[in-house]
Amino acid sequence: MGMFILRRTGVMLLTALCLTFIVFIMTNLYPNLEKLAKNEGNFRMSDAEVASFLSNRGYTQGKLHNYGEWLGVLPGYVIEGVDGKTRGRCSNHGAILENANEYCGVLQGHWGFSSRFKEPVSQIVVTRLGLTGKLMFWVLMVMIPSALVIGVFAGMREGSRLDRSLSSGAILTTATPEYVSGVIFIAIFTSSAVGLKWFKGSATSAMDHATLENFLLPVLTIALYGMGYIARMTRASMAEVMTAQYIRTARLKGVSFANIVLKHALRNALIAPFTVIMLQIPWLLNGVVIVEVLFNFKGFGWVLVQAASNNDIDLLLAVSVVGVVVVLLTQLISDIGYVFLNPRIRIS
């Protein structure tokens, strides 16, 4: 087991390394650097000003070299610019700070400085990840129980009227992307045009204090999308279990239907949904991007959009690392959890 986790961690590091390298090369293409320079300096800068801005700040040293600096295997640049000012990577691309280190890469624990937000990347990621964590927690709290309940009810009597209506509902929610359902929710439940105004169509104030009024719609938008899919999986799994030999045996022995479902079928039926739920979490990050922008909730998904549209190199790299960790960590948990749920599976 220890070996297995170790190997998975190795894979995770390797994936992160590859992905960040690709992101790094992409964000360091010259047109992207130009965008960065104009965002940070002045968006009316001339080409010559852009070139001097970039070389003054070490962006034109060569991509491999810069990647090495980001990783922390090469010392951060200290460059005297054509404008006479000396700048350093370890001083946040600004005037040399007294306490600046020689190396300031990821290996030293420095995730860099965001050009968009003018803050250390680590701080931004922690704050924004916390907010998204809050959102995701409530999404999971709504999504998992309701998905399992719907799936079990639909699957325990395959083909019944209950099954048909629940399944149709599940297909409908999972077939409606967040950017459609979110807009519909805002239009129906928040606008003066319809007049219900039960909830708030903006979750900005939910960042400080979330209430049912300002937080339900974003949570529901993401949860409904994932719920349909998990409910379908649970239903399939439940339906299969319900046709198994031992269930028929239990029935013939006169065990009550409720007992069959709860005591005999449920545990076996939940193995598949568990994996699906874990694999669904990285997918939900997609929804987070859309919903956070739609509801102006400034979490991790919003940061991703901001970093990408402003070519904020350090921030994008950190965001991709977080993405890799989330995907592989949920897979790891699902694999390990599987072992506990299904005794037939062994991890060598």
Partner 1 sequence: MTQDNNFMHPAAEMYASEEKAGKLDRREFISRATALGVSTVAAYGLLGLDAPAVAGGHAKMGGTIRMQMDVKAMKDPRTHDWTQISIFSAGWLEYLVEYNNDGSFTPMLLTSWEANADATQYVLKIREGVKWNNGDDFTAEDVARNIIGWCDKGLEGNSMAGRMASLVDEATGLAREGAVVAVDSSTVHLNLLQPDITIVPGMADYPAQIVHKSFTVETMVSNPIGTGFMLPENLEVGVKASIVRNEGFDWWGYAAGKGGYVDRIEFIDYGSDPATHMAGFEAEEFDLNWETTGEFVELFDSLGLVKTQVASGATIVVRPNQGHAPYDNKMVRQALAMAVDNNVINELGNASLGVAADNCHVGPMHPEHNPDVTRAPFDPVKAKELMDASGHGDFEHELRSLDSGFWKDTCDAVAAQLRDAGIKVKRTLMPGSTFWNDWTKFPYSATNWNHRPLGTQVLGLAYRSGEAWNEFAWNNTEFDGLLAEANSLANADERRVVMGKIQAIVIDEGVTCQPYWRLVQRHNVAGLVGVDMHIAYLPQIYKWGHAA
Task: By CB under 8 A, name the binding residues for partner 1.
Answer: 34-35, 38-39, 41-46, 49, 53, 94-95, 116-119, 186, 190-192, 197, 200-202, 204-205, 214, 293-296, 298, 306, 309-310
Instruction: Report in angstroms how near the CB of residue 37 gets to partner 1 at its nearest.
Output: 9
Calpha distance 125→141 (Å, rounded): 23
Which residue, 67 or 199, is less far from partner 1 as judged by CB?
199
Calpha distance 201→198 (Å, rounded): 10
The answer to whether 82 and 57 have CB atoms below 8 angstroms apart is no
Instruction: Report in angstroms how near the CB of residue 173 gets to partner 1 at its nearest.
Output: 22
DSSP per residue over 284-344, as a string?
A: HHHHHHHHHHHTT--SHHHHHHHHHHTT-HHHHHHHHHHHHHHHHHHHHHHHHHHHHH-TT
Which residue, 191 or 249, is less far from partner 1 as judged by CB?
191
Neighbours of 274 (CB within 10 A): 22
Instruction: Report in angstroms how near the CB of residue 312 gets to partner 1 at its nearest.
Output: 10
Which residue, 203 or 230, is less far from partner 1 as judged by CB?
203
Which residue, 274 or 297, is less far from partner 1 as judged by CB?
297
Which residue, 47 or 340, is less far from partner 1 as judged by CB?
47
Q: Which of 234, 263, 120 is nearest to 170 (CA)?
A: 234
Instruction: Report in angstroms how near the CB of residue 18 gets to partner 1 at its nearest.
Output: 27
Pairing verdict, β 86-88 and 94-95? antiparallel
Instruction: Report in angstroms how near the CB of residue 35 gets to partner 1 at its nearest.
Output: 5
Helical residues (DSSP H) of the chain, grouped into ranges: 2-27, 30-40, 47-56, 63-71, 121-156, 161-175, 178-189, 212-242, 245-252, 257-259, 266-269, 271-294, 300-309, 313-341
Which residue, 155 or 301, is less far from partner 1 as judged by CB?
301
Instruction: Report in angstroms how near the CB of residue 227 gets to partner 1 at its nearest.
Output: 24
